[in-house]
Amino acid sequence: MDKWILTSEKIDWKKMKKRESIWTQGNGYMGIRASFEEGYTGSARNTLINGLFDCPKEEVAELAVLPDATNCEISFNGETFNMICGIVENFRTSLNMRTGEFTRTLDWTSPKGKKFSIVFSRMVSDARKHVMAQRVWITPLSEDVEVCLVTGIDGKITNTGVQHFGNPEKRAYKDGIKGMYLTTLQSQVDVAIHYTLKFNKECTERITIDRRSVYSEVRTTVGKNDTFTMEKLVSYATERDFEYADFEYSDEVLRNDGKAYLNEVIELGYDGLLKESARSWSQFWQESLVDVNANDALIDGAIIFAQYHLHIMASRDDNRLGIGAKALSGEGYMGHSYWDTEIFILPYYLCTEPQVARRLLEYRYQLLPVAKNKAAKFGFQGAMYPWESTWITDGEGCIEYGDMDLLTGEKRRFTMGETEIHVTAGVAFAAWQYYCMTGDEEFMEKYGNELIIRTAIFWADRAEKRNGRYEILGVIGADEYKEDVDNNTYTNYMAHKNLVLAKNILDSNPERLLRKLEKEYNMKDVKMEISEVAENLYLPVAEEDGIIPQFDGCKSLKEKDITYYKNLDSVFDIFKDYGFAEILQMQVFKQADIVMLFYLMSDVFDEETVRKNFAYYEERTLHDSSLSMCIHALVAVRLGMKDMAEKLFYDCCCVDFGENTNNSDAGIHSASIGGIWLATVMGYGGLRITDNSLQLKPVLPDGWENYSFPVWYRGSKLKVLVDKNGCCVERVLGDAVTIVLNGKEILV
């Protein structure tokens, strides 16, 4: 089996949605799910553009699903092709992660007994962000037939029923280009979609339209064993494109640009575009490949799969965009960004493509006004980041009420927006990690220092003086199965780090920044408050039994043996037996909380404490969040708990890449995908980022042949190779740098 190519030779209609998600194609600008060209029940035919949010009245902003251009209905002498009728043979579909191409090959015998060979292929250009292309090859095998293809732009789309676009304008131009122009209903963003068709033989093309769509109806007669080829080239452009960030936009410019993106590639056609795109992919793999040879197809493939998705989820140029919890692979989580980005995904970019990491942090910087408004709304100073972020001016994306409680039937109030405040410290932490890895002073001066200070101002205000110390009350920690808790250990430690970082920055007297902040604050007072809270913030420690309470009173909650639920393949099963209110009162956890700290702040806790707490909390954690397994795997590796690490690592690889679950239907889990990298490089590779060093302590898991990964550190690129002979660190680019390998400083 080739680890670079995902294949399927069976059609499992029940798994179609999952496959559509995990085989999503994209380039950081757009994402297109791998739906088949013809219609079938249950398909979630989504094309999403990064940053194209719309906010329906009385709801929160979500990524608007775009009109679909992947459709193509085929009929032969009036018989419509569909895999659910007739006989399908020699079926094979694949996603080539080396080149980004998605193909489907099959022989179809129609209900009337006529046989055809059909090949579909599709690509989203890695070299031209606005372009995608498709090709259909049709060969009649029984007799000459009249082939009719209907393909175009289908605007009859919604986000699970929610309309985001008004009536589109449709145009057909003399040069063969067809266009559709729409505007999002609330955010009022213009969108232009264009397509043009190319054929290998003479045919007629008739334009048809309906209220929301424009189609081409293509007819030709194809001889037995001859092949008819249609190529469809499509371009997308929106008013929010980075090209217009500092440019006077007009809808005429947008339409002309949209057409120009197509005109530039008509000559190239599908093959030329594929070649160009494959070259771009190849360059990416050459520069960034994390290569694992584990002698296990699932693990070897999962790391390529993870990197494939990491490559297509982040914008290559735009610093106004985050990464959604499902990236651009589905409607799940409405395209919103969470702490997932900074804590689970960003480390990959820090090590592999630091310029992308910087842009993601610049996005957070641009959200500062939103974060300041949010803090003010809840009566605090400083910057309080949205729990769920969308477009830079949209505000908090967290809904007020979630789905009903399955057991009680009552609607559940969501307090995450107000109380899941650790995201604020996570953003500051990530800005600092970026600095530690890159030494990018310019970033800190322009963005990082301000971000860290403004977030620290929030913490200093949010913490309350109680019991002769500062405490943080009424929060949801990293673990979402406990609400309204006091002194959540994860939150307090992260807030503390944020405060200490701010204190150090303020001690260094950043003059320009102080002048800016002085317009809003008395910086002398701010400095004092930050120092005072940093010094006196309560940081929970291990109690007599060696266990750190996840929050005040956590260990007196009811114990519950959850082995049964942990052994099930699916998640959230506990809710079939217990209501959320009951879970809140039990020592049952959804995901890593204290264990997160062992990953992020490895130098703060001694090994004995980590070991004891890992055992205690893992036993009580359901891993009902896809964010949980990877972190537990990483910590288990660091503790040398081989079997546990292996199992958790495997489970983490299976979240999207495994066979069994349907929980990827609404999109991949981008944090868990980042988590595969974390568990590999920061777990097995033992990579740690500390305030003043890059550390490596690699281990080779049993059965693995070798693995290698690139790391950018302070402007130099290193390649780390681990095999049975040990570890080799090679400097590929840049000046000599000092790192810590297995506890010893070395100059690379």
Q: Interface with ligand BGC by CB under 6 A: which residues?
A: 325, 333, 338-340, 480, 590-591, 625, 627, 671
Of 268, 212, 262, 266, give the one whose Cα is nearest residue 237: 262
DSSP 225-286: T--EEEEEEEEEEETT-GGGTTS---HHHHHHHHHHHHHHHHTTHHHHHHHHHHHHHHHHHH
CB atoms within 10 A of CB 304: 23
- Alpha-carbon distance of 114 to 104, in angstroms, equals 20
- Alpha-carbon distance of 565 to 361, in angstroms, equals 38
- Alpha-carbon distance of 533 to 552, in angstroms, equals 19
The DSSP output letter for 224 is T
For residue 477, give every residue at least 6 positions away whose Cβ sits within 8 Å of its Cβ, in sequence order, or none.
422, 485, 488, 489, 490, 491, 550, 551, 593
Q: Are 423 and 398 in contact (CB under 8 A)?
A: no
Cα dihedral 346/348/351/352 (nearest 10) = -120
DSSP H or E run through 723: strand 716-723
Q: How far apart are the first and last CA of the chain?
A: 36
Tokens linked to 220: 């030709």
Choosing from 79, 217, 276, 480, the catalytic residue is 480
- Alpha-carbon distance of 150 to 133, in angstroms, equals 16
Beta-strand relationship, 693-696 and 738-741: parallel
For residue 254, give every residue at least 6 positions away whose Cβ sits within 8 Å of its Cβ, in sequence order, or none.
190, 192, 237, 238, 239, 244
The structure tokens 């789309």 sit at 157
The DSSP output letter for 223 is -
Say which amino acid occupies 93: T
DSSP 448-465: IHHHHHHHHHHHHHHSEE
Q: What does residue 553 show for φ and ψ, rounded to 5 degrees?
A: 80, 5
For residue 250, give every residue at least 6 positions away whose Cβ sits within 8 Å of its Cβ, in sequence order, or none.
none
For 378-430, the three-class secondary structure string (H helix, E strand, C coil) is: CCCCCCCCCCCECCCCCCCCCCCEEEECCCCCCEEECCHHHHCCHHHHHHHHH
Give the residue with the Cβ less far from ligand BGC, 21 or 449: 21
480 is catalytic: yes
Give the residue with the Cβ less far from ligand BGC, 34 or 325: 325
- Alpha-carbon distance of 21 to 26, in angstroms, equals 11
DSSP 468-496: TEEE--SB--SSTT--SBSS-HHHHHHHH
SS3 46: coil
- Alpha-carbon distance of 472 to 462, in angstroms, equals 7
Residue 354 CB, nearest approach to ligand BGC (Å): 24
The DSSP output letter for 727 is E
The number of angstroms, rounded, from the C-alpha of 487 to the middle of its chain's C-alpha atoms is 30
- Alpha-carbon distance of 490 to 497, in angstroms, equals 11
Tokens linked to 356: 């992308």
DSSP H or E run through 694: strand 693-696
Tokens linked to 181: 């122009």
The number of angstroms, rounded, from the C-alpha of 160 to the middle of its chain's C-alpha atoms is 20
Burial string for 186-209 (b: 16+ CB within 10 Å, else e) reads ebebbbbbbbbbbeeeebebeeee
Give the dihedral sign, CA 59/63/67/70. Answer: negative
Give the residue with the Cβ less far from ligand BGC, 671 or 737: 671
- Rg of the Cα atoms in the chain: 27
- Alpha-carbon distance of 747 to 522, in angstroms, equals 45
Active site residues: 480
